[in-house]
A = this chain, B = another copy of it.
Amino acid sequence: MKITAELCVIPMGVGVSVSRYVAACEPILRQAGLNPQLHAYGTNVEGEWDDVFAAFKRCHQAIHDMGAVRVFTTVKLGSRNDRAQSNDDKIASARSYFD
């Protein structure tokens, strides 16, 4: 099953500056072939369900390995069986209605 998804990780117990941990996910998501797109409230990806969540698990493990005792994560995801739709397609579709 093809999905698009958004990952937002919050390491806990490591202070208020968490960019270093967010950044550690980027190579994991890229090497998994998920076409990561970083934004200010997460990273958007796309791929097969199993590949996406295997990579998200590696992100959690990497953040723990960096010293975060606790990791809180939010994910949004979507699947559709009528047609393929990438993250770029979604943005283009919304923009087509802009003035």
Binding site for B on A (CB under 8 A): 1, 4-6, 8, 10, 12-13, 15-20, 22-24, 26-27, 37-42, 44, 49-50, 53, 57, 60-61, 64, 69-82, 87-88, 90-91, 93-99
Partner of A10, one of B17, B39, B72, B96: B72
Say how many copies of this protein the assembly contains.
4
Query: Do residues B75 and A77 form an inter-chain contact, with CB atoms below 8 A?
Result: yes
Do most interface residues of chain A lie in helix, strand or loop, or is the interface mixed?
mixed
Partner of A23, one of B40, B87, B94: B94
Query: Do residues A94 and B8 form an inter-chain contact, with CB atoms below 8 A?
Result: no
Query: Do residues A76 and B8 form an inter-chain contact, with CB atoms below 8 A?
Result: yes
Query: Do residues B40 and A44 form an inter-chain contact, with CB atoms below 8 A?
Result: yes
